[in-house]
Structure 1
Amino acid sequence: MEHNSTFPIKLSELANLREEATSYLKGVSWEQGAKAKNRDKDQKDSSILLYLSKANGTHASEVISVSKTILSLKKRLLPDSVAIPLHLNEALYALQEGIATGIWLKDSYSDASGLTALNERKASFDASQRREYDSKMQTATAFMLYGIAYRILYDLKPVASEDLSVMKNKFAGIPELSLMSPVKGISCLLFYLDKYLNHPEIITSDKDVVDFTVVFFEAVITEIQLRIGALEYTETIVDRTYKLEKSEFAVSGWENVFEGTAKSVEFNKIQFEEIVGNRDAKHFARRLTERMLSYDFTAKKNPFQELGGFMPVFMGYGIPGTGKSMLIAAIATRLKKHCDELDIPFLFHPMPDTLISTFQGGSAEKMVQWMKPLQDPTKLIFAPIDDAENNLQERTAQGVSAGVKEVIGVFLRYTEGAYAVNYGNSSIGLFTNLPEMLDKAVISRVQGRFKIDGARTIPDFIDQDYLWWRKFEKTMPGFVNMSGPGDYTYLSDQGLAKNLGEILSNVERPSEEKVLEIYEQTEKKHKDTEHLFYAALFKNIQKAFPFFSSRDIRNIQSAVSLRLTDFDLPSEWFEDPSLYFRKDYDTKFTMLQDLMKQNMKGLNFSDIRKQEAIRYLDNVATIADTDFKRKVDQRVHDMNIQLEARRIFEEGDQ
């Protein structure tokens, strides 16, 4: 979605709306709808819902006051305190700022959409004008409530508790949300907020007020997002961004859901040279960082995506202890360093370990929360999933939990399909020791893959030792009384390769038996320089591996595209960002095309295509084979146990 223009939310204009916001907090009245009153039947927490539905909101004259409620909470929770406690103050201030911001957005929408002009002619409406007026009024109210919730979350999320799961379990939802008119919208919203705050089980400390307010307004945003499809006249909402003066706060249509403003997680700083071996993985990681940094924030796209050299999802796999976690940290270190130098916002966003929930639907909700930030076009995002086999395990395997299935469902929806938005600024990395345990549909989303195989050569092992004993040498010179490896300079082999050609041994034939057999059969009928060769090869592979699909073919194509874009960005571009990084999108694209043409001079398309097809098909076969072998081993193991048990049983019987 393109936002054509940015409008400032002026602080002076907000100041004028604070009084109106305060008057709402001082008192509103709301008459509950019949539906909300009857909502307590068949609900998970009848006590709270019953309480909400029996709340005395039956008389239009009854006034509830959120500011009074917060003051009475002070008396209940901290009777000895003279001043209003910090958290209660934060919550009250956030509510006031949120309502003022929401009113400002509603006024802005009313002017832009023609609602203000309609309002002045209200007396002379015909039926279609009345319909347009009502429709725009609903949209204005929805946008206002969205703005209120969004601003409150912006102010309170940083001070709320990290883990809100206890509060979310207490929360029983919002019985109703009115979009009839702005006054009704705010009155209904504050009525239920007030009822919750007055419930003795919900608030047990002053921090709970902040936590609950966050949970409540997250639910408001979710509720409004469910209704966006039914709203009309939203053009003047989705085509612009409103930015608060002297602040990072901005509202861009409906899209920047607050869940999407994740905070970057801390990580250990590691340089690629400190990782031993793993040439393929280091090379891939370096290419990934260069490609992400080429993202254009104005055009909201990445020239590498157009050239076919960008990977929204990639996979690193290898046996345990070969450096997966170090590699994740090294990619994050490199991206962060360049982002700081180029003044680009960076988000390191690893998948949390606590994603699988025991509640039905809970895992899907958490996964959506984790994936939403990946659609934020205002920063570069690296999202690693370590030990990916835990959360993305083959769904058909025995004993796989409902939570894993929910997580995979969301992952697939957000990586390809209607929800999948990739501007070329975010990349998900799956890291696993057991690729064969990953769900087949998840693996087919992977567009780049590399082996993480650790130390492999004599210099690798020398360097792995050197990284360990040099610490002693530093603190106690001379203590390590051993001679060096002759003419080898420590760590000199751990630098980065120039291109993939340097790393890949020239693959001429498949190494997997089954693939080799199919390959040789196909060779008898066609030359590998004919297009027909690949059509026949893929058809035959599909017979042997039924899960092989056109997405796999697309992945082979993208591997070839990656090879064609496998060139270094000149170091002077990093030293002086104005030479490339600060240029406009079209200029960057042209510069990359020139580099690509120079790089292609030594390459041969049919050779690269053959190499990448073989690498990919070998990989597919290895994963399928390992999975099969593991199942056979398990069956053999079970049979041995059974035989042994029978033997012991028979001996005992004699």
Structure 2
Amino acid sequence: MEHNSTFPIKLTELDMLRDEASSYLKSIQWEQGQRAKNRDKDAKDESILLYLSRANNGSNALEITSVSKTILALKKRLLPDSIAIPIYLNQTLYAVQEGITLGIWIKDSYYDASGLSSLNENKTALNTDGKREFESKMHTATAFMLFAMAYKILNDLKSYASDDLSVMKQKFAGIPEVSLLSPLKGISCSLFYYDKYLAHPEIVKSDKDVINFTVVYFESLIDEIQQRKSSLEYTETIEDRTYKLENSEFAVSGWSNVFQGAAKSVEFNKIKFEQIVGNRDAKHFARRLTERMLSYDFTAKKNPFQELGGFMPVFMGYGIPGTGKSMLIAAIATRLKEHCDTLDIPFLFHPMPDTLISTFQGGSAEKMVEWMKPLQDPSKLIFAPIDDAENNLQERTAQGVSAGVKEVIGVFLRYTEGAYAVNYGNSSIGLFTNLPEMLDKAVISRVQGRFKIDGARTEHDFLDQDHLWWRKLDDTMPDFVNMEGPENYSYLQDQGLAKNMGEILNEIKKPTEERVHDIYDKVEKQFKSNQHLFYANLYKDMQEAFPFFSSRDVRNIQSAVSLRLTDFDLEEDWFENPDIYFKQDYDTKYNMLQELMRANMKGLDFSEIRRQEVVRYLDNVATIADTDFKRKVDARVNQLNIEREARSSFENDN
């Protein structure tokens, strides 16, 4: 559902609700329901659930609990000698209070927006339908309040919690009951069990555990509410708007649960480009990508390279197995991280997790949205590689493709182009694959930059690849490697970066792929490659041979040519002294780049660049199509051979 309006959550309005929030932390009353009390009667006495169900010694009376008292007691138990409340305990208490405050505000605005306020005022005069509507809206108000409360608490604490919460999740036995009867009951019930868990000696062993447990508990509360939201009515005024907290990135947008900024950078091995042998095209591309991302302007929330046509939100690296895809991913991340550290820019390395495809219907889409959502955060540079992309983005029409893959592709397409696609020029998704022909056609058509990862290719490449291996032996035992080196080559001298794409491509004269070569020759007999009609006819004939070739491909070729026009090095001293360029405002950066671009274009021949890029792209399209076709033919031939063999052995047996 599209959110069409944004409302501010004003800080002054929250200030007025804070006392009410802290009164809930001081004391709430809750009477456990029968079901929660009877849960797990036969389990061993240590069971946390049994402990919770006996929370008030089996009596039915209302029990009064106090979260703030429990936290003070924890402080005495964990840090008996300290006078101040330790930082994590303090932070948690504050976050829970802020969460409740925000929840109350959200509930009040739902009351007004949904007409619940006026039903509430005329409660006594309501007829049967009116009473039903009143109760139904109370449930929805309570659910939305608890959702917003938990969401705010997670937003404030998630980045301080441990990365791995599995130990805490194992101790946690779920929330015995969630009440949605009224806002007061909703808050009392959720704080009652939160408090009981905190007081249990097994749950909190250190002050960090308090944050960890709070995150696990309120994540679970959100899950409980997400499970029930389908039974709630009168949710239109929740789903059609976004509430944004003043002076902050935090927003409540319907029921969507995205921890903005909570995506944590994943660890990676540090690798320099010089350690990767061959792969000139890939290394050059990776270097350009990093320079372009670093040009992003945080104030203007846009990237001057995007305006110049030199930015790639989605790119693809493909090649046979063992040519260095994973090393390349690490090298791009390493380079970005080093520059970001120097320039004091937040960086997020955000690879797609292997566990994305879920067996639950809708589960994969939800996980994919959760993975793609942080890519829309304009406050950091984000590199999001998808390694072995053919696993999660496989051709949807192929036999036996799971529903999960289709869901993932649907989300990918929606977020890379269309109403949801936001690209500020600060994030880039890289597809890396050995089998590009297995990728979904619509996914491939989103790819704006592509390069081969072909590993070692020349005599010098293979020399260097061996050198990287034996020099380790040479370091430990100097005379052990008793072999002669090459005469006119110093190791790794070819592994530096190319000056520009022209250096790599100048040997491309004609397409290598047979079908494209024939089409190219035929068109070349009628037109010269510096005539516009040459390309119009080439595209038309390509489409006849490869029916899926479309205007989208032509646009991709155009953006490849634009990339070449911006294929220049940023000045060395810009990196040494960031004030010259990186720290400038957007317009200054844009003008500096335009000047560099003009200077760079003086030596270029537009029609030649266009020809090279067209040849490169068409070759690529054909390789992918032909490999796919060849694989299908091989599989069919194999099947026929098996059938023939089976028939003959059947006849022999009889």
The alignment's TM-score, normalised by the length of structure 2, stands at: 0.77
Distance 1:194 1:557, change over 3 A: farther
Q: Confirm whether residue 376 of structure 1 aligns to residue 354 of structure 2.
A: no
Q: In 2, distance between residues paired with 1:24 and 1:600?
A: 66
Q: Confirm whether residue 241 of structure 1 aligns to residue 247 of structure 2.
A: yes
Q: 1:404 Cα deviation (Å)?
A: 1.1
- Partners of 2:381 and 2:427 within 8 A in 1: yes
Aligned to 1:411: 412
Q: In 1, distance between residues paired with 2:583 and 2:497?
A: 26
Q: Confirm whether residue 159 of structure 1 aligns to residue 165 of structure 2.
A: no
Percent identical across equivalent pairs? Answer: 58
Structure 1 residue identity aligned to 2:406: K
Structure 2 residue identity aligned to 1:625: D
SS at match of 1:478: coil
Structure 2 residue identity aligned to 1:94: T
Distance 1:260 1:221, change over 3 A: farther
The correspondence of residues 51-90 of structure 1 with structure 2, limited to 5 A, is 67=66, 83=77
SS at match of 2:379: coil
The correspondence of residues 103-114 of structure 1 with structure 2, limited to 5 A, is 103=101
Q: In 1, distance between residues paired with 2:259 and 2:158?
A: 11
- Partners of 2:99 and 2:153 within 8 A in 1: yes
Aligned to 1:536: 537
Aligned to 1:599: 600
- Partners of 1:150 and 1:221 within 8 A in 2: no
Aligned to 1:488: 489
Distance 1:642 1:220, change over 3 A: closer
Q: Confirm whether residue 340 of structure 1 aligns to residue 334 of structure 2.
A: no
Distance 1:66 1:612, change over 3 A: farther
Q: In 2, distance between residues paired with 1:70 and 1:401?
A: 51
Q: In 2, distance between residues paired with 1:579 and 1:595?
A: 14
Q: In 1, distance between residues paired with 2:159 and 2:165?
A: 11
Q: In 2, distance between residues paired with 1:348 and 1:253?
A: 25
- Partners of 1:66 and 1:190 within 8 A in 2: no
Aligned partner of 1:98 among 96, 99, 114: 96
Q: In 2, distance between residues paired with 1:430 and 1:524?
A: 37
Aligned to 1:451: 452
> Over aligned residue pairs, what C-alpha RMSD do you find?
4.7
Structure 1 window deviating more from structure 2 (601-610 vs 626-635): it is 601-610
- Partners of 1:363 and 1:404 within 8 A in 2: yes
Structure 1 window deviating more from structure 2 (259-268 vs 469-478): it is 259-268
Aligned to 2:219: 215
Q: In 1, distance between residues paired with 2:239 and 2:367?
A: 30
- Partners of 2:178 and 2:189 within 8 A in 1: no
Q: 1:518 Cα deviation (Å)?
A: 2.6
Aligned to 2:51: none
SS at match of 1:258: coil
Q: Confirm whether residue 230 of structure 1 aligns to residue 237 of structure 2.
A: yes
Distance 1:142 1:645, change over 3 A: closer
SS at match of 2:320: coil
The correspondence of residues 307-318 of structure 1 with structure 2, limited to 5 A, is 307-318=308-319
Distance 1:449 1:251, change over 3 A: same
Distance 1:608 1:168, change over 3 A: farther
Q: Confirm whether residue 642 of structure 1 aligns to residue 643 of structure 2.
A: yes
Structure 2 residue identity aligned to 1:213: Y
Q: In 2, distance between residues paired with 1:108 and 1:648?
A: 74
Aligned to 2:152: 150
Distance 1:175 1:105, change over 3 A: closer
How many equivalent residue pairs?
585
Q: In 2, distance between residues paired with 1:64 and 1:90?
A: 27
Aligned to 1:560: 561
- For residues 321-380 of structure 1, the C-alpha deviation after alignment (integer angstroms, 9 at most, x for no partner) is 100011001001100000000000111111111111122211111111111111111111
Q: In 1, distance between residues paired with 2:188 and 2:494?
A: 65
Q: In 1, distance between residues paired with 2:18 and 2:27?
A: 15
Q: In 2, distance between residues paired with 1:515 and 1:271?
A: 37
- Partners of 1:30 and 1:187 within 8 A in 2: no
Distance 1:85 1:383, change over 3 A: farther
- Partners of 2:96 and 2:153 within 8 A in 1: yes
SS at match of 1:391: coil
Distance 1:581 1:228, change over 3 A: farther
Distance 1:66 1:586, change over 3 A: farther
Aligned to 1:514: 515
Distance 1:152 1:64, change over 3 A: farther
Aligned to 2:296: 295
Q: In 2, distance between residues paired with 1:396 and 1:64?
A: 59
Q: In 1, distance between residues paired with 2:239 and 2:623?
A: 52
Aligned to 2:37: none
Distance 1:240 1:168, change over 3 A: farther
- For residues 500-537 of structure 1, the C-alpha deviation after alignment (integer angstroms, 9 at most, x for no partner) is 00001343332222222333343444443333332332
- Partners of 1:156 and 1:210 within 8 A in 2: no
Q: 1:618 Cα deviation (Å)?
A: 1.2
The correspondence of residues 316-465 of structure 1 with structure 2, limited to 5 A, is 316-465=317-466
Q: In 2, distance between residues paired with 1:467 and 1:262?
A: 35
Distance 1:494 1:221, change over 3 A: farther
Structure 1 window deviating more from structure 2 (463-472 vs 605-614): it is 605-614
Structure 2 residue identity aligned to 1:251: F
Structure 1 window deviating more from structure 2 (346-355 vs 209-218): it is 209-218
Distance 1:110 1:575, change over 3 A: farther
Distance 1:203 1:454, change over 3 A: farther
- Partners of 1:152 and 1:217 within 8 A in 2: no
SS at match of 1:461: helix
- For residues 94-134 of structure 1, the C-alpha deviation after alignment (integer angstroms, 9 at most, x for no partner) is 365233355279779999xx99xxx9xxx9xxxxxxxxxxx
- Partners of 2:318 and 2:432 within 8 A in 1: yes
- For residues 539-591 of structure 1, the C-alpha deviation after alignment (integer angstroms, 9 at most, x for no partner) is 32222222222221111111011000000001100000000000000000000
Aligned to 1:472: 473
- For residues 583-624 of structure 1, the C-alpha deviation after alignment (integer angstroms, 9 at most, x for no partner) is 000000000000000010111222211211121111111101
Q: 1:149 Cα deviation (Å)?
A: 2.3
Aligned to 2:276: 275
Q: In 2, distance between residues paired with 1:521 and 1:203?
A: 81
Structure 2 residue identity aligned to 1:261: A
The correspondence of residues 607-646 of structure 1 with structure 2, limited to 5 A, is 607-646=608-647
- Partners of 2:175 and 2:221 within 8 A in 1: no
Structure 1 window deviating more from structure 2 (343-352 vs 526-535): it is 526-535
SS at match of 2:579: helix
SS at match of 2:77: coil
Q: Confirm whether residue 505 of structure 1 aligns to residue 512 of structure 2.
A: no
Structure 2 residue identity aligned to 1:100: E
Q: In 1, distance between residues paired with 2:602 and 2:246?
A: 45
- Partners of 1:106 and 1:141 within 8 A in 2: no
- Partners of 1:18 and 1:100 within 8 A in 2: no
Structure 2 residue identity aligned to 1:149: Y
- Partners of 2:314 and 2:446 within 8 A in 1: yes
Q: In 1, distance between residues paired with 2:236 and 2:567?
A: 43
Structure 1 window deviating more from structure 2 (376-385 vs 250-259): it is 250-259
Structure 1 window deviating more from structure 2 (468-477 vs 522-531): it is 522-531
Q: In 1, distance between residues paired with 2:632 and 2:354?
A: 27
Aligned to 1:58: none
- Partners of 1:294 and 1:304 within 8 A in 2: yes
Aligned to 1:251: 250
Q: In 2, distance between residues paired with 1:546 and 1:172?
A: 56
Aligned to 1:36: none
SS at match of 1:577: coil
- Partners of 2:306 and 2:425 within 8 A in 1: yes
Q: In 1, distance between residues paired with 2:229 and 2:458?
A: 55
